[in-house]
């Protein structure tokens, strides 16, 4: 059986796909962590209330809410950045997977061509043996 000449390239592309898949998994985990952080901050912000009390308590509550609002904005920004990185990682993995599938299809065609050629060679040999056997009987 003849070997697939692009086998080395296919192995390289598979390694690249595996690296891209690992990067995608990390990016998705980062996005999930950012989403969870934003959710926690939003819950804290929704639970922050203004107590009836003196002016100092009111000012502390206002400062706390302002701080939580800042954290929420930061969390939204981090989530947007993580989502962008995850989308880029998804696109990169998709491209790598397409490269691998293209080469795998070429390999499949190559293997099918080799099998067909081997089948033709076996048939020719069988035909030749049959002809020689028949030729010996005719004599």
| CB contact at 8 A, 31 and 90 | no
Tell me the percentage of the chain whose pLDDT exceeds 90: 72
pTM of the complete model beyond 0.95: no
Provide the mean pLDDT of the chain. 92
Query: What are 50's two structure tokens?
Result: 């203004």
In this prediction, residues 85-92 reach a mean pLDDT of 98
Structure confidence at residue 1 (pLDDT) = 67
Whether 68 is in a domain gets the answer yes
Closest of 43, 98, 42 to residue 75, by C-alpha: 42
d(CA 66, CA 47): 13
Whether 1 is in a domain gets the answer no
Residue whose structure tokens are 């080469």:
103
* Boundaries of domain holding 91: 7-138
d(CA 138, CA 135): 5
- Domains identified in the chain, total number: 1
Domain containing residue 16: CATH number: 1.10.287.1700
Whether 23 is in a domain gets the answer yes
Minimum mean pLDDT among 23-27, 69-73, 109-113, 128-132: which range? Answer: 128-132
Query: pLDDT class for 34, splitting at 50, 70, 90?
Result: very high
Structure confidence at residue 85 (pLDDT) = 98
Alpha-helix runs per DSSP H in the chain: 7-47, 55-138
Whether 2 is in a domain gets the answer no
With a CB cutoff of 8 Å and minimum separation 6, the contacts of 49 are 61
Whether 64 is in a domain gets the answer yes
d(CA 2, CA 114): 7
């Amino acid at each position: 059986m003849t070997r697939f000449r692009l086998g080395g390239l296919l192995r390289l592309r598979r390694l690249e796909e595996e690296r891209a898949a690992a990067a995608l998994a990390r990016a998705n985990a980062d996005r999930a962590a950012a989403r969870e952080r934003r959710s926690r901050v939003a819950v804290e912000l929704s639970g922050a209330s203004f107590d009836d009390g003196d002016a100092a308590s009111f000012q502390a509550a206002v400062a706390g809410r302002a701080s939580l609002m800042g954290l929420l904005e930061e969390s939204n920004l981090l989530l947007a950045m993580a989502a962008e990185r995850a989308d880029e990682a998804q696109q990169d993995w998709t491209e790598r997977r397409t490269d691998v599938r293209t080469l795998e299809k070429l390999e499949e065609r190559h293997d099918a061509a080799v099998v067909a050629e081997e089948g033709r060679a076996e048939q020719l040999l069988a035909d030749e043996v049959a002809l020689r056997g028949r030729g010996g009987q005719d004599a």
